[in-house]
Amino acid sequence: FLKESGVQISEMSSGCICCSLVGDFGKALKDVEKQFHPDRILIEPSGVGKLSDVILAVQNTVKDEPDMQLGSFVTVADASKVKVYMKNFGEFYNNQIESAGAIILSRTQKVSAEKLAAAVALLREHNKDAAILTTPWDELDGKTILAAMEKVSLADELMEKIRAEHEADEHEHHHHHHDDDHDHDHEGREHHHHDHDHEDEEHEHHHHDHDHDEHGHHHHDHDHECDDPECSCHHHHHHADEVFTSWGEETVHTFTEEDIRRALTALDTGDYGAILRAKGIVPTVDGRWLHFDYVPEEHEVRFGTADYTGRLCVIGSNLKEDGLKQLFGL
């Protein structure tokens, strides 16, 4: 079929990638690169290829090729058979799991929530870092799957945003030379909120309605909650990532909108640390997907597209991780 559409196919003589790791595999990879300069090369080994061997073979081939680098390694696992395959194929099956950067579960729509959670727990024992895709794949678009394979975490996204705001604050600070500490803090905070406004234009009027009130109140609260001398609200020259920590979970747990709103409101109490940001995309009890964003004293909850699995992230200082786990029912 591919040949008919004008795509050139080169088969390896021995047919099995792991029998020919040194010889024609490396040559085939380099030839494809030289001839076609593709953006991506997908390698699909047979089911009996050891993933660690394939990774090694690619690494050995591309180590002297500046234009080529290994992007991601993905294992597809049948959600209904993880337990039995681990038992029957042991080390061989586990090698695929342990070497994967992302694990895509097939047939997730055919297993119960309990069985899915048990399968994920077994996979986690062998691989604590891989993105595990638990959403039925016909509900996902390519971008979402790719983001999971390339492992763009919510914590990284939020930290990036905080860092950008922090730099904007720094700029503002140098620009104004405030002497009065209270003014300085007020200025920084205000900037913080307005950055959020640009992300979410429709919320803009909401901020302005009670901006003044909120800032006064906020400043007072922050002094009350935040005794941390390292906190960036007192010292603008600290880097965001030196001060804040993040807590995050990937989960197949389903939530109601009330669960999430209750949890986000509770983040304002200070009982869980000084929370700066929270974000999540989680499945609901009725089969939809809920997206939420939190900044202090404000949160937005809406329904949207599916993610590769439920995931949430909280960033702040002095985070109470056990409390957060309990709060979100995980």
Has this prediction a pTM greater than 0.75?
no
Phi first, then psi: give them for residue 113, nearest 5 degrees.
-60, -40
Whether 60 shows a pLDDT value over 60: the answer reads yes
Least confident of 14-18, 69-73, 151-155: 14-18
Measured between alpha carbons, how far is 31 from 107 in angstroms, rounded to an integer? Answer: 37
Percent of the chain with pLDDT over 90: 31
Label residue 65 by pLDDT band (50, 70, 90): confident
When pLDDT is averaged across residues 112-119 and rounded to a whole number, the result is 92
Higher per-residue pLDDT: 8 or 167: 167
Whether 32 shows a pLDDT value over 50: the answer reads yes
When pLDDT is averaged across residues 233-248 and rounded to a whole number, the result is 58
Distances (CA, A) of 129 to 101, 142, 149, 257: 7, 21, 11, 28
The SS3 call for residue 37 is: coil
Q: Within 13 Å, how many C-alpha atoms sit on residue 296's CB side?
A: 22
When pLDDT is averaged across residues 240-244 and rounded to a whole number, the result is 60
Residue type, 209: D
Label residue 173 by pLDDT band (50, 70, 90): low
Higher per-residue pLDDT: 165 or 231: 165
Measured between alpha carbons, how far is 177 from 189 in angstroms, rounded to an integer? Answer: 16
Sign of the alpha-carbon torsion through 115, 117, 123, 125: negative
Largest separation between any pair of C-alpha atoms in the chain: 76
Measured between alpha carbons, how far is 41 from 68 in angstroms, rounded to an integer? Answer: 10
Measured between alpha carbons, how far is 326 from 132 in angstroms, rounded to an integer? Answer: 22
Measured between alpha carbons, how far is 1 from 182 in angstroms, rounded to an integer? Answer: 70
Label residue 49 by pLDDT band (50, 70, 90): low
Q: What is the pLDDT of residue 75?
A: 92
Distances (CA, A) of 291 to 139, 146, 307: 16, 19, 10
Whether 36 shows a pLDDT value over 90: the answer reads no
Q: Which of 330, 306, 321, 319 is nearest to 250 (CA)?
A: 330
What one-character DSSP code corresponds to residue 255? B
Mind giving me the DSSP string for 47-86? TTS-HHHHHHHHHHHHTT-TT------EEEEETTTHHHHH
Whether 194 shows a pLDDT value over 50: the answer reads no
